[in-house]
């Protein structure tokens, strides 16, 4: 059988792009295992999300509509998701390794007594999977024994599934969430306000490193280039550690993993841990004063220059194209 269940994450009852990536991964896993691919939506008032997921190529969409699931918390969501996996005889549970996916899936795996592979980048013949280890310095071939199995997939490793296909059946399921299992309360959410594209979804990412020297320089030097390119802004861990910018801009193994069409690294030396977060980008540009910087070893185009001169100049040049 080998049926696969994709956890369809949404934000405020809106489908998010990483979920479509998870669907593609789920469909691939189901094909390799010779089973069907289902999806599950958890929440309250999520019919529209379920309808959207139903058009992405899955066999069926399960919906658990429960007031206890209105706001995401790991305790209630994990209990509900584990129950669906059991009730529907699922062999492999798949979700994208978003903040929610990373928080939720291991908890579900432990509730099920299942083995888990995280940040999987490929499903191989013979049931094995590939995942990075050691900050991307090694690619491990892994297998999970027994059933069920739990797998999170890296959001940049699969293309998002196309929406708008034939409508699959949507089935409401109840799992009987014990109110006492939900003890965690989300009391505040301070959203990072930005008119720019989401870092992990942007076509162009411009990142700054420690060489920018200050948070002020991120604003006055880097941001004009970011905006003229319609890009998302990122940063190296060194720049985050130095307090120039908040951590949610961090690109790297310990931050966000991105794979845009164009990645521009400004004043970033290219530590292993940063490369792990951006080396799957289609085109990489490096601007750095130090011509020995390791970032040049992965860059398609390298410019050895003082960023404080080159970046404003580049902003003007790009403006001319528009």
In the region spanning residues 219 to 278, those forming contacts with other proteins, defined by CB under 8 A, are 229, 237, 240-241, 243, 247-248, 250, 253-254, 261-262, 272-273
**Interface with other proteins (CB under 8 A), residue from 67, 110, 162, 165:** 110
**By three-state DSSP, how is residue 286 classified?**
strand
Query: Could you please report the per-residue DSSP string of 237-282?
Result: HHHHHTTSS-GGGBBSTTSB----SEEEEES----HHHHTTTTT-S
13 makes contact with other proteins (CB under 8 A): no
**Interface with other proteins (CB under 8 A), residue from 43, 132, 209, 267:** 132
Per the CB < 8 A criterion, the answer to whether 237 and 294 are in contact is no
Per the CB < 8 A criterion, the answer to whether 64 and 42 are in contact is yes
282 makes contact with other proteins (CB under 8 A): yes
141 makes contact with other proteins (CB under 8 A): yes
288 makes contact with other proteins (CB under 8 A): no
Looking at the Cβ atoms of 141 and 174, the one nearer to other proteins is 141
Per the CB < 8 A criterion, the answer to whether 314 and 294 are in contact is no
207 makes contact with other proteins (CB under 8 A): no
Who contacts 149 (Cβ-Cβ below 8 Å, separation ≥6)?
91, 92, 93, 114, 115, 116, 117
Least distance CB 51 / other proteins (angstroms)? 23
Residues of this chain, 44-73, that bind other proteins according to CB under 8 A: 73
**Interface with other proteins (CB under 8 A), residue from 171, 290, 300, 306:** 300
Looking at the Cβ atoms of 64 and 149, the one nearer to other proteins is 149
Q: HSE-up of 208 (CA within 13 Å, CB side)?
A: 32
């Amino acid at each position: 059988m080998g049926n696969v269940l994709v956890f369809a994450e949404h934000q405020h009852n809106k489908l998010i792009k990483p979920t479509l990536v998870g669907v593609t991964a789920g469909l691939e896993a189901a094909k390799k295992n010779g089973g069907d691919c289902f999806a599950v939506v958890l929440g309250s008032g999520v019919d529209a999300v379920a309808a959207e997921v139903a058009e992405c190529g899955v066999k069926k969409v399960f919906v658990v509509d429960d007031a206890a699931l209105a706001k995401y918390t790991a305790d209630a969501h994990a209990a509900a998701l584990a129950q669906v996996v059991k009730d529907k005889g699922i062999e492999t549970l798949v979700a994208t390794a978003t903040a929610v996916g990373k928080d939720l899936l291991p908890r579900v795996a432990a509730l099920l007594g299942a083995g888990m592979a995280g940040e999987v980048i490929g499903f191989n013949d013979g049931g094995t999977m590939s995942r990075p280890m050691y900050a991307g310095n090694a690619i491990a071939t892994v297998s999970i024994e027994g059933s069920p199995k739990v797998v999170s997939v890296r959001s940049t490793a699969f293309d998002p599934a196309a929406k708008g296909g034939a409508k699959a059946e949507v089935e409401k399921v109840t799992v009987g969430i014990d109110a006492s299992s939900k003890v965690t309360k989300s009391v505040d959410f301070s959203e990072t306000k930005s008119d720019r594209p989401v870092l992990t979804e942007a076509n162009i990412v411009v990142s700054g490193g420690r060489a920018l020297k200050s948070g002020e320089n991120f604003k006055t030097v880097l941001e004009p280039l970011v905006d003229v390119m319609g890009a998302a802004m990122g940063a190296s861990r060194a720049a985050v550690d130095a307090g120039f910018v908040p951590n949610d801009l961090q690109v790297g193994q310990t931050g966000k993993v991105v794979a845009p069409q164009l990645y521009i690294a400004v004043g970033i030396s290219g530590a292993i841990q940063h490369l792990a977060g951006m080396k799957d980008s289609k085109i990489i540009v490096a601007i750095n004063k130090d011509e020995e910087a390791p970032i040049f070893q992965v860059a398609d185009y390298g410019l050895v220059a003082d960023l404080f001169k080159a970046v404003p100049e580049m902003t003007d040049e790009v403006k001319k194209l528009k």
